[in-house]
Chain A
């Protein structure tokens, strides 16, 4: 079931991607949602429950920025705990993807060997 594993992987990676984006620059929800949905194809609505979860876990905090047009906008920035989580999770991610890559590479090599 390719769909299932795809959705699970994306859902798991979404939090990490948000941390990484916010580490580059503070941002607001619509910008985060549209960048991530372009890049990894998640439903945009998922971003709001996620941002609330990260806020209640103390990984991000919000502040309001006055805007020339319309009401002031809610920006998100990383907390120290958020930067810690980003470092820990990207290390985990790298280890995990390297392990999967290694297994996939072995598998491909085995298939080539069998074909010859």
Chain B
């Protein structure tokens, strides 16, 4: 594989990442080729020693997704991290999907319930005093405030659980990618390694 081929395949694999991140990654590998050539190796030797660009791209994409999730805890970063680690193929989607659907559905349901409770609390607080609420207007205001506070509490709790779930998925996928995947593809890796010139052979 030539340098241009390697970089092209890597670029293809990195589609979907922010341009700045992809450029940064490509620059790393371009520097690696520069250094390798300066050390007297051929493009083919450097490319062979680097390994499969498609596989590297998958791993880099997952790392970038996880980094973004660490930096900005928002729903889009969470989805990005989860989909990127799913892309590693370390988690069997067919086994995970029914469980994930149930968990995501439950969390979503609770979120909707929390929002409804918040709105309901608002209505009780504002409309209660004028609608002859049992216990008088003051009780109605207090009850509305209580419902709203309760919904905020549920929402906060759900957010913590969701963040924890995303972190657990990322942790699990990383562990399995590192331990399981290499074991499943020993031939591919062994082929890459045997293509690498023996250390000191060129010296």
Contacts and interface: CB of A to CB of B under 8 A. Distances in A.
A19 B28 CA distance: 19
B104 interface: no
Interface string A31-45: 001100110010111
Contacts, number: 84
A84 B189 CA distance: 31
Contacts of A55: 67
Interface stretch (B112-120, B140-148, B179-187): B179-187
B50 A43 contact: yes
A52 B186 contact: no
B152 interface: no
A7 B182 contact: yes
26 contacts: A3-B186, A7-B186, A11-B178, A29-B31, A29-B32, A41-B199, A43-B49, A43-B192, A43-B193, A43-B196, A44-B49, A44-B51, A45-B56, A46-B51, A48-B28, A48-B56, A48-B60, A49-B56, A52-B63, A52-B64, A52-B67, A53-B66, A53-B174, A56-B67, A56-B70, A70-B34
Interface of A: 1, 3-4, 7-8, 11-12, 29-30, 33-34, 37-38, 41, 43-46, 48-49, 52-53, 55-56, 70-71, 73-74
